[in-house]
Amino acid sequence: MKPDNTKSELHPRNRHRARYDFDQLIQTSSALATYVKLNKYGDASIDFSDAQAVKVLNQALLKQFYGVLVWDIPKQYLCPPIPGRADYLHYIADLLSAGNAGVIPKGQSVRVLDIGVGANMIYPLIGTREYGWQFVGADIDAKALDNAQQILDANALSNDVELRLQTSPASIFKGMIRQGEKFTLTMCNPPFHGSLEEAKAGTQRKWRGLGKHLAKRGPNEKSPMLNFGGQNAELYCEGGEEAFVSAMISESKLYERQCVWFTTLISKAANLPSVYRALKKVNALDVRTIDMSQGQKKTRIVAWTFLNASQQHTS
Protein backbone atom coordinates (compact mmCIF):
# COMPACT_ATOMS: atom_id res chain seq x y z
CA MET A 1 0.00 0.00 0.00
CA LYS A 2 1.29 3.42 -0.90
CA PRO A 3 1.89 5.46 2.26
CA ASP A 4 0.09 8.70 3.04
CA ASN A 5 2.86 11.26 3.02
CA THR A 6 0.80 14.08 4.45
CA LYS A 7 2.11 15.33 7.77
CA SER A 8 -1.24 16.07 9.42
CA GLU A 9 0.23 15.53 12.90
CA LEU A 10 2.14 18.79 12.53
CA HIS A 11 0.71 21.96 14.06
CA PRO A 12 -2.34 23.28 12.15
CA ARG A 13 -0.49 26.50 11.22
CA ASN A 14 2.62 24.65 10.05
CA ARG A 15 3.20 25.45 6.38
CA HIS A 16 4.68 21.98 5.80
CA ARG A 17 1.72 19.74 6.63
CA ALA A 18 1.26 18.68 3.01
CA ARG A 19 3.71 16.68 0.94
CA TYR A 20 6.57 18.65 -0.48
CA ASP A 21 5.61 20.03 -3.88
CA PHE A 22 8.94 19.41 -5.55
CA ASP A 23 7.87 20.92 -8.87
CA GLN A 24 7.09 24.19 -7.14
CA LEU A 25 10.20 24.01 -4.95
CA ILE A 26 12.37 23.50 -8.04
CA GLN A 27 10.79 26.58 -9.61
CA THR A 28 11.76 28.48 -6.47
CA SER A 29 15.27 27.01 -6.31
CA SER A 30 16.51 25.32 -9.47
CA ALA A 31 19.52 23.77 -7.68
CA LEU A 32 17.12 21.28 -6.07
CA ALA A 33 16.37 19.60 -9.40
CA THR A 34 19.68 17.71 -9.31
CA TYR A 35 18.63 15.86 -6.15
CA VAL A 36 14.99 15.05 -6.87
CA LYS A 37 14.29 11.48 -8.03
CA LEU A 38 11.26 9.21 -8.13
CA ASN A 39 11.03 6.88 -5.14
CA LYS A 40 9.70 3.31 -5.22
CA TYR A 41 6.13 4.62 -5.06
CA GLY A 42 6.68 6.81 -8.10
CA ASP A 43 6.69 10.02 -6.06
CA ALA A 44 9.27 12.78 -6.37
CA SER A 45 11.61 12.86 -3.36
CA ILE A 46 15.24 13.28 -2.33
CA ASP A 47 17.72 11.02 -0.60
CA PHE A 48 17.40 12.25 3.00
CA SER A 49 20.69 10.55 3.91
CA ASP A 50 22.49 12.92 1.51
CA ALA A 51 23.51 15.98 3.54
CA GLN A 52 23.87 18.17 0.47
CA ALA A 53 20.42 17.19 -0.79
CA VAL A 54 18.88 18.05 2.58
CA LYS A 55 20.67 21.40 2.65
CA VAL A 56 19.45 22.32 -0.83
CA LEU A 57 15.91 21.28 0.13
CA ASN A 58 16.13 23.56 3.18
CA GLN A 59 17.29 26.43 0.99
CA ALA A 60 14.25 25.94 -1.25
CA LEU A 61 11.81 25.67 1.68
CA LEU A 62 13.18 28.77 3.38
CA LYS A 63 13.01 30.73 0.15
CA GLN A 64 9.51 29.62 -0.84
CA PHE A 65 7.74 29.76 2.51
CA TYR A 66 9.68 32.36 4.50
CA GLY A 67 11.25 34.66 1.92
CA VAL A 68 14.79 33.79 3.03
CA LEU A 69 16.68 34.34 -0.19
CA VAL A 70 20.18 33.42 1.02
CA TRP A 71 20.87 30.56 3.44
CA ASP A 72 23.87 28.29 3.81
CA ILE A 73 25.77 26.49 6.56
CA PRO A 74 29.40 25.34 6.74
CA LYS A 75 30.17 21.68 6.16
CA GLN A 76 29.60 19.41 9.14
CA TYR A 77 27.22 21.80 10.90
CA LEU A 78 23.71 20.75 11.87
CA CYS A 79 21.17 20.91 9.03
CA PRO A 80 17.81 20.89 10.82
CA PRO A 81 14.45 19.55 9.60
CA ILE A 82 12.42 22.68 8.99
CA PRO A 83 8.89 21.30 9.61
CA GLY A 84 9.76 20.20 13.16
CA ARG A 85 11.52 23.46 13.95
CA ALA A 86 8.50 25.42 12.73
CA ASP A 87 6.27 23.34 15.01
CA TYR A 88 8.18 24.45 18.11
CA LEU A 89 7.54 28.10 17.23
CA HIS A 90 3.85 27.59 16.54
CA TYR A 91 3.29 25.76 19.82
CA ILE A 92 5.02 28.40 21.90
CA ALA A 93 2.97 31.01 20.03
CA ASP A 94 -0.10 29.15 21.29
CA LEU A 95 1.38 29.21 24.80
CA LEU A 96 1.55 33.01 24.62
CA SER A 97 -1.97 33.28 23.17
CA ALA A 98 -3.40 31.34 26.12
CA GLY A 99 -2.40 34.23 28.37
CA ASN A 100 -3.51 36.88 25.88
CA ALA A 101 -7.25 36.22 25.43
CA GLY A 102 -6.52 33.65 22.73
CA VAL A 103 -4.67 36.13 20.51
CA ILE A 104 -1.10 35.37 19.47
CA PRO A 105 1.04 38.42 20.22
CA LYS A 106 2.99 39.52 17.19
CA GLY A 107 5.67 42.08 16.50
CA GLN A 108 8.89 43.08 18.20
CA SER A 109 7.31 43.51 21.61
CA VAL A 110 7.80 39.74 21.85
CA ARG A 111 11.48 39.10 22.57
CA VAL A 112 12.82 35.56 22.28
CA LEU A 113 16.16 34.21 23.48
CA ASP A 114 17.30 31.22 21.39
CA ILE A 115 19.87 29.21 23.34
CA GLY A 116 22.15 27.43 20.85
CA VAL A 117 21.04 29.35 17.78
CA GLY A 118 23.67 27.56 15.67
CA ALA A 119 25.05 28.32 12.24
CA ASN A 120 21.65 27.52 10.69
CA MET A 121 19.65 30.05 12.77
CA ILE A 122 16.39 28.35 11.84
CA TYR A 123 14.26 29.51 14.78
CA PRO A 124 14.89 33.25 14.31
CA LEU A 125 14.40 32.97 10.55
CA ILE A 126 11.00 31.33 10.89
CA GLY A 127 9.94 33.27 13.99
CA THR A 128 10.62 36.68 12.47
CA ARG A 129 8.77 35.80 9.26
CA GLU A 130 5.77 34.12 10.89
CA TYR A 131 5.22 36.37 13.90
CA GLY A 132 7.50 39.39 13.57
CA TRP A 133 9.14 38.55 16.89
CA GLN A 134 12.54 39.93 17.87
CA PHE A 135 15.25 37.39 18.64
CA VAL A 136 18.54 37.16 20.48
CA GLY A 137 20.53 34.13 19.37
CA ALA A 138 23.18 32.78 21.77
CA ASP A 139 25.87 30.22 21.05
CA ILE A 140 29.29 29.11 22.32
CA ASP A 141 30.62 28.64 18.77
CA ALA A 142 32.06 31.80 17.20
CA LYS A 143 32.23 30.23 13.74
CA ALA A 144 28.54 29.32 13.92
CA LEU A 145 27.66 32.89 14.87
CA ASP A 146 29.80 34.28 12.04
CA ASN A 147 27.79 32.19 9.59
CA ALA A 148 24.51 33.22 11.23
CA GLN A 149 25.48 36.88 10.90
CA GLN A 150 26.16 36.38 7.19
CA ILE A 151 22.62 35.00 6.83
CA LEU A 152 21.21 38.01 8.69
CA ASP A 153 23.14 40.48 6.58
CA ALA A 154 22.20 38.78 3.31
CA ASN A 155 18.49 38.85 4.19
CA ALA A 156 18.34 42.31 5.79
CA LEU A 157 17.44 40.86 9.19
CA SER A 158 20.11 42.43 11.36
CA ASN A 159 17.54 44.73 13.00
CA ASP A 160 15.38 41.75 13.96
CA VAL A 161 18.00 39.37 15.35
CA GLU A 162 20.97 40.01 17.63
CA LEU A 163 23.68 37.39 18.08
CA ARG A 164 25.63 36.91 21.31
CA LEU A 165 28.68 34.74 21.93
CA GLN A 166 28.56 32.75 25.16
CA THR A 167 32.17 32.81 26.36
CA SER A 168 31.48 30.58 29.36
CA PRO A 169 30.55 27.11 28.01
CA ALA A 170 29.37 26.01 31.46
CA SER A 171 26.76 28.80 31.51
CA ILE A 172 23.44 28.95 29.71
CA PHE A 173 21.60 32.17 30.62
CA LYS A 174 24.43 33.84 32.53
CA GLY A 175 25.95 36.57 30.38
CA MET A 176 23.18 36.20 27.79
CA ILE A 177 20.37 37.79 29.81
CA ARG A 178 21.67 41.22 30.78
CA GLN A 179 20.84 43.24 33.84
CA GLY A 180 17.40 44.82 33.48
CA GLU A 181 16.73 43.01 30.20
CA LYS A 182 13.45 41.19 29.72
CA PHE A 183 12.35 38.37 27.43
CA THR A 184 8.94 36.96 26.63
CA LEU A 185 10.32 33.52 25.85
CA THR A 186 13.45 31.46 25.85
CA MET A 187 13.76 28.41 23.63
CA CYS A 188 16.35 25.67 23.21
CA ASN A 189 17.04 22.48 21.32
CA PRO A 190 19.49 20.97 23.83
CA PRO A 191 22.34 18.56 23.01
CA PHE A 192 20.70 15.16 22.80
CA HIS A 193 23.53 12.75 23.60
CA GLY A 194 25.85 12.31 26.55
CA SER A 195 29.01 11.46 24.62
CA LEU A 196 30.55 11.23 21.17
CA GLU A 197 30.11 7.45 21.22
CA GLU A 198 26.42 7.78 22.02
CA ALA A 199 26.02 10.33 19.22
CA LYS A 200 27.67 7.96 16.73
CA ALA A 201 25.42 5.10 17.81
CA GLY A 202 22.38 7.31 17.35
CA THR A 203 23.52 8.26 13.86
CA GLN A 204 24.01 4.63 12.92
CA ARG A 205 20.42 3.93 13.96
CA LYS A 206 19.29 6.86 11.81
CA TRP A 207 21.18 5.49 8.83
CA ARG A 208 19.62 2.06 9.28
CA GLY A 209 16.22 3.74 9.46
CA LEU A 210 16.91 5.29 6.07
CA GLY A 211 17.92 1.92 4.64
CA LYS A 212 21.65 2.65 4.66
CA HIS A 213 24.09 0.03 5.86
CA LEU A 214 27.37 1.23 7.24
CA ALA A 215 30.31 -0.54 5.74
CA LYS A 216 33.48 -0.90 7.81
CA ARG A 217 35.57 2.20 7.49
CA GLY A 218 39.28 2.67 7.70
CA PRO A 219 40.86 4.74 10.47
CA ASN A 220 41.31 7.75 8.18
CA GLU A 221 37.78 7.79 6.83
CA LYS A 222 35.32 10.45 7.93
CA SER A 223 32.74 9.45 10.50
CA PRO A 224 29.29 8.86 8.96
CA MET A 225 27.89 11.12 11.69
CA LEU A 226 29.15 14.09 9.73
CA ASN A 227 26.90 13.25 6.79
CA PHE A 228 24.00 14.36 8.94
CA GLY A 229 25.94 17.29 10.31
CA GLY A 230 26.42 18.60 13.77
CA GLN A 231 29.35 19.93 15.71
CA ASN A 232 30.19 18.42 19.09
CA ALA A 233 28.31 21.06 21.09
CA GLU A 234 25.25 20.62 18.86
CA LEU A 235 25.11 16.86 19.36
CA TYR A 236 26.29 16.01 22.86
CA CYS A 237 27.42 17.27 26.23
CA GLU A 238 28.45 15.56 29.43
CA GLY A 239 25.32 14.08 30.96
CA GLY A 240 23.35 14.60 27.75
CA GLU A 241 19.95 16.22 27.50
CA GLU A 242 19.02 15.49 31.11
CA ALA A 243 22.07 17.24 32.59
CA PHE A 244 21.85 20.20 30.18
CA VAL A 245 18.19 20.87 30.87
CA SER A 246 18.67 20.44 34.62
CA ALA A 247 21.39 23.10 34.51
CA MET A 248 19.14 25.33 32.42
CA ILE A 249 16.32 25.02 34.95
CA SER A 250 18.66 25.81 37.84
CA GLU A 251 19.95 28.94 36.08
CA SER A 252 16.46 30.06 35.08
CA LYS A 253 15.69 30.70 38.74
CA LEU A 254 18.26 33.51 38.67
CA TYR A 255 16.23 35.28 35.97
CA GLU A 256 12.72 34.47 37.18
CA ARG A 257 11.60 38.10 36.89
CA GLN A 258 13.28 38.77 33.55
CA CYS A 259 11.54 36.16 31.43
CA VAL A 260 7.88 35.22 31.20
CA TRP A 261 8.27 31.66 29.86
CA PHE A 262 11.32 29.43 29.72
CA THR A 263 10.97 26.57 27.22
CA THR A 264 13.04 23.68 25.91
CA LEU A 265 12.62 20.65 23.71
CA ILE A 266 12.82 17.31 25.48
CA SER A 267 13.55 14.50 23.03
CA LYS A 268 13.71 11.62 25.51
CA ALA A 269 10.50 10.97 27.41
CA ALA A 270 12.57 9.09 30.01
CA ASN A 271 14.12 12.43 31.02
CA LEU A 272 10.79 13.99 31.98
CA PRO A 273 10.71 12.80 35.63
CA SER A 274 14.11 14.36 36.38
CA VAL A 275 13.06 17.55 34.56
CA TYR A 276 9.92 17.80 36.70
CA ARG A 277 11.97 17.20 39.85
CA ALA A 278 14.34 20.01 38.88
CA LEU A 279 11.40 22.34 38.23
CA LYS A 280 9.89 21.50 41.61
CA LYS A 281 13.24 22.22 43.27
CA VAL A 282 13.33 25.77 41.88
CA ASN A 283 9.64 26.31 42.73
CA ALA A 284 8.42 26.92 39.19
CA LEU A 285 4.91 28.33 39.49
CA ASP A 286 3.45 26.84 36.30
CA VAL A 287 4.81 23.96 34.22
CA ARG A 288 3.40 22.90 30.83
CA THR A 289 4.28 19.89 28.67
CA ILE A 290 3.35 20.19 25.00
CA ASP A 291 3.49 17.02 22.90
CA MET A 292 4.66 17.20 19.29
CA SER A 293 5.13 14.59 16.58
CA GLN A 294 6.51 14.38 13.07
CA GLY A 295 6.01 11.00 11.50
CA GLN A 296 7.39 8.37 13.88
CA LYS A 297 9.39 10.94 15.83
CA LYS A 298 7.77 11.99 19.09
CA THR A 299 9.07 14.88 21.12
CA ARG A 300 7.75 17.53 23.45
CA ILE A 301 8.25 21.05 24.76
CA VAL A 302 8.51 21.68 28.47
CA ALA A 303 7.66 25.26 29.46
CA TRP A 304 7.82 26.85 32.89
CA THR A 305 7.32 30.23 34.50
CA PHE A 306 7.85 31.79 37.91
CA LEU A 307 5.25 34.50 37.26
CA ASN A 308 1.53 34.49 37.91
CA ALA A 309 -0.95 35.70 35.29
CA SER A 310 -0.88 39.34 36.36
CA GLN A 311 2.91 39.39 36.60
CA GLN A 312 3.18 37.91 33.10
CA HIS A 313 1.28 40.87 31.66
CA THR A 314 3.46 43.42 33.41
CA SER A 315 6.78 41.80 32.49
CB distance 202 to 191 below 8 Å = no
Contact between 297 and 81 (Cβ < 8 Å): no
Q: Which stretches of 20-121 are assigned E, i.e. beta strand? A: 37-38, 44-45, 111-115
Full pLDDT tens readout for the chain, 315 residues = 334 455 568 999 999 999 999 999 999 999 999 999 998 889 999 998 898 999 999 999 999 999 999 999 998 898 999 999 999 999 999 999 999 999 999 999 999 999 999 999 999 999 999 999 999 999 999 999 999 999 999 999 999 999 999 999 899 999 999 999 999 999 999 986 444 455 444 444 444 454 554 344 343 333 433 334 544 554 445 778 999 999 999 999 999 999 999 999 999 999 999 999 999 999 999 999 999 988 778 899 999 999 998 888 765
Which is nearest to 294 in space by CA: 48, 47, 39?
48
Task: Give the sign of the dihedral formed by CA 255, CA 257, CA 259, CA 265.
Answer: positive
Type of residue numbered 167: T
By DSSP bridging, strand 286-294 and strand 297-305 are: antiparallel
State the CB neighbour count (10 A cutoff) for residue 309.
10
Asked whether the beta carbons of 304 and 252 are under 8 A apart, the reply is yes
Which strands, in side-by-side order, build the sheet including 134-139? 161-165, 134-139, 111-115, 183-188, 259-266, 297-305, 286-294
Show the domains of the chain with their CATH numbers. Answer: 80-194+230-314 (3.40.50.150)
- 8-state DSSP, 9: T
